[in-house]
Amino acid sequence: MRNPLARAITLALAAAALPATAATDIEQLQQRLAQMERETAALRAELELVKQSSNQAVSTATEAKAAASTATAAAAPAVKGNRVFFRGGYAALTDDRANGAFTDMNDIPGALGLGSVKNSNDDGWYFGAGFDFLLSRDVFGMLPGTWALAELGLEFRDLGGDETHLVGPVAECLALNDVGVGAGPLNCTGIRGEQNLMMLTVSAAPKLKFNEGGKLRPWIIPAGLDLNVISPPSDSTNYLDIGVQFAGGVDYEILPGITLGADIRYHLSADLTDPDYSPASVAAAQAAGMSLNTDPSNDSWTAGVSLGIGF
């Protein structure tokens, strides 16, 4: 059995050693915590540096992209796809409108004091204006380099005329003869004046314009809508007609946004002003010594030059 004294001494020494060991462990733990805090702070600092570098790189790239975009925009002028245009030139009917009641009152029987005066003019001049509106620079993804535009136009055509009997004054003169005004029959032959044939057309049409970027740009109108007003009216006193327009031409850019061009257009009319005489009506007119225009047509064509201003 051990010596009690030795055992007591051993226990005393162990008790004295316990606080020292715990203190050492606490100190080591504190040192580790401090080390971890320093490492965490270092990591945070590195992350902040990386973040700042990334933001700076993104900012630099954005600025470079913006500068490049600005430089590109400055180098490439804005596309002026819309334009206003003015045009004019030669115009002609495909058939004249002679033998109409309002065009010349041709072949009125001589017993009424009228001779045969035929207004067969069918050509003259035209002037027009309109707008081109750019819809697509590649025909909606189908034809790169080809523009699709909408053209709205207004055109006046003077198709010439002749000195002929004017239906209003002559009708009044014949009416006076019919009621027996005056000492004898009035001579209505001399009641004449210049009777011009005219048309006014409002149009809306799709237009395809080729060769984007080139100074010389051909174009076509496959088919467009025409709304026509004719003067004087037809034998049925109608003056409104519709039709289809076919056209082709070319524009040349002489200055940025300013073009000179040439075009040719054909206006095919529905001829809604046609009185559509029956065979019996034609026979009756011929029996009375009159001539009728049995197949009147409002078809016409134009050829001219144009000036365009882009906006």
Is the model's pTM score more than 0.85?
no
What gap in Å lies between CA 306 and CA 251, rounded to an integer?
8
pLDDT digits (tens, 9 = 90+) for 149-188: 999 999 999 999 888 878 888 778 878 877 766 556 777 7
246, 268 contact by CB (below 8 A): yes
Assess whether pLDDT exceeds 80 at residue 218.
Answer: yes
Provide DSSP, 198-234.
Answer: EEEEEEEEEEEE--TT-SEEEEEEEEEEEEEEEES--
| Mean pLDDT estimate for the chain | 84
- Confidence band of 306 (pLDDT split at 50, 70, 90): very high
191, 163 contact by CB (below 8 A): no
Strands 123-136 and 147-165: antiparallel
Does domain 83-310 correspond to CATH entry 3.40.50.720? no
pLDDT given at position 113? 45
pLDDT digits (tens, 9 = 90+) for 93-109: 999 998 888 888 765 55
**Picking from 11-15, 34-38, 155-159, which range would have the lowest pLDDT averaged per residue?**
11-15
pLDDT given at position 94? 95
217, 229 contact by CB (below 8 A): no
Who has greater pLDDT, 292 or 75?
A: 292
pLDDT digits (tens, 9 = 90+) for 241-297: 999 999 999 999 999 999 999 999 999 999 999 999 888 888 887 787 677 888 889
308, 258 contact by CB (below 8 A): yes
Which DSSP category does 96 fall into? -
What gap in Å lies between CA 191 and CA 120, rounded to an integer?
19
Q: What integer is the mean pLDDT of 51-64?
A: 74
Between the CA of residue 299 and those of 126, 234, 302, what are the distances in Å?
14, 14, 11
